[in-house]
Amino acid sequence: MKYRSTKLSNIPPYQFAEIQKRKYELIDTGVDIIDLGVGDPDLPTPDHIVSRMIDELGNPANSRYPSFGGCQEFREAVADFYRRTYGVELDPKTEVHALIGSKEGIGHLMQAVVDPGDSVLIPDPSYPVYRMATILAEGSYHPMPLEAENGFKPKFSIIDKDIVNNATVMFLNYPNNPTGATVDLEFYKQAVDFAKRNDILLINDSAYNMVTYNGYKAPTVFQVSGAKNLAVEFGSLSKSYSMTGWRIGYVVGNKDVINSLSIYKSNIDTGVFTPIQKAGAHALNSDQSCVEEHNQIYKKRGEAMIKALQSIGIKAETTNATIFLWVPVPEGYTSEQFVATILEHTGVIFTPGNVFGPSGEGYFRISLSASTPRINEAIKRIKELKDRFLVQ
């Protein structure tokens, strides 16, 4: 019996699922694991969002199929968020689409816009889904290295001309996972210009757009004039409102691309459960102080972790966004070796940088999404490794 397609055989299992499997194996053997691997907020979903969900559950109309592209209230809430936050106008009917989380949307969008053999430009390191979704769509991908010296931004001018000529799609992701890097509007202007000159669809994954601190506010690509002609942007409620398990996100921008995604999705899934969309709309429409409170908690956790790493000789630096720290491994270790050593001696899970692509080798990622007491416990255990890593 054939139990797997060739294209599925071309991709590995989802790395975070593998890490989770290993975590539960270790827990079963009695290890006290502190999981700073996956970016999955421990902070509770704010009460006003949960209450709205509960209210909506009581409405029998909500047990029926949701609307495919998203209910009007959710789409309008996303459009209002863009108007309020960035001064960008979106048509809720044609330029906004609800998603079962941005991961789902990214995966399905590649099926909707990529033909076998099409080339896709993908930042390296980056969220593994961009690469895997490209392979599943039978496209080929070309890494755009993100280097610390260039603020973890791709250099468009050094991409090989032939590769650029064949490219139909380019991913960007700011604020960036895994590096925590941020960009200004000038960068988006360059990206839009590059995409326009080369007839490329620009996909900006902006899942961490609200998880910012130190006074930084993330721009949107749609603040660049003409961006709607060639770009879509993904957003998520997962990290900003601690709603990873709810599965709610959106895509906005070019209406033809959104229409293609909509056609694909309507043949595959039937949208997001309406109470979740209504609660999501309520999250976007309500007072945003809960987001700021969460951001301040991540910032403090990050500062404490950076201090601990520096105290044992590991060079960690602060960022202005995301729930991640992207840290070079100490000399003499590969990413995998270092993460395995930390796990063995402390029970703390980090993500090895190579999970995010070849340019991630030499780094590891820390997710600040365990409770503050558990992060403090991780810090305590890491500090005990001082003699192992501290270069004298």
The structure tokens listed for 76 are: 């309008």
Nearest CB to ligand MLT, comparing residues 90 and 129: 129
Question: Which x/- pattern, by CB under 6 A, does the window 173-212 give for ligand MLT?
Answer: ----x-----------------------------------
Q: Report the side by side order of strands in the sheet with 140-145.
A: 96-99, 249-253, 231-236, 201-205, 167-173, 119-124, 140-145
Nearest CB to ligand MLT, comparing residues 40 and 138: 40
Nearest CB to ligand MLT, comparing residues 177 and 354: 177
Query: Binding of ligand MLT at residue 301 (CB under 6 A)?
Result: no
Tell the smallest beta-carbon distance from residue 34 to ligand MLT (Å).
15
Query: Binding of ligand MLT at residue 38 (CB under 6 A)?
Result: yes
Nearest CB to ligand MLT, comparing residues 102 and 274: 102
- Which position among 16, 68, 264, 333 is part of the footprint of ligand MLT (CB under 6 A)? 16
Contact segment (CB under 6 A) with ligand MLT among 38-46, 166-174, 188-196, 327-335 equals 38-46
- Which position among 33, 34, 39, 347 is part of the footprint of ligand MLT (CB under 6 A)? 39
Contact segment (CB under 6 A) with ligand MLT among 2-10, 33-41, 47-55, 114-122 equals 33-41
Nearest CB to ligand MLT, comparing residues 44 and 245: 245
Nearest CB to ligand MLT, comparing residues 127 and 326: 127
H helices of the chain, in order, are 6-9, 15-28, 47-57, 72-86, 102-113, 128-136, 161-166, 185-197, 255-266, 274-285, 289-311, 335-346, 372-383, 386-389
DSSP string, 217-252: ----GGGSTTGGGTEEEEEESTTTTT-GGG--EEEE
Q: Taking a C-beta distance cutoff of 8 angstroms, is the pair 92, 78 a contact?
A: yes
Near ligand MLT in 102-131, by CB under 6 A: 103, 127
Q: Which residues contact 66 (CB under 8 A, 6 or more apart)?
A: 270, 271, 272, 273, 274, 277
d(CA 35, CA 26): 11
Task: Report the SS3 class of residue 160.
Answer: coil
Please give the C-alpha separations between residue 295 and each of 195, 368, 381, in angstroms, as whole numbers. Answer: 32, 11, 25
Tell the smallest beta-carbon distance from residue 126 to ligand MLT (Å).
10
Nearest CB to ligand MLT, comparing residues 38 and 340: 38
Tell the smallest beta-carbon distance from residue 106 to ligand MLT (Å).
10
d(CA 118, CA 139): 5
Q: Which residues contact 356 (CB under 8 A, 6 or more apart)?
A: 124, 125, 126, 127, 128, 178, 365
Number of residues near ligand MLT (by CB under 6 A): 8
Q: Taking a C-beta distance cutoff of 8 angstroms, is the pair 112, 260 a contact?
A: yes
Question: Which x/- pattern, by CB under 6 A, does the window 45-84 give for ligand MLT?
Answer: ----------------------------------------
Query: Binding of ligand MLT at residue 247 (CB under 6 A)?
Result: no
Residues that bind ligand MLT (CB under 6 A): 16, 38-40, 103, 127, 177, 367
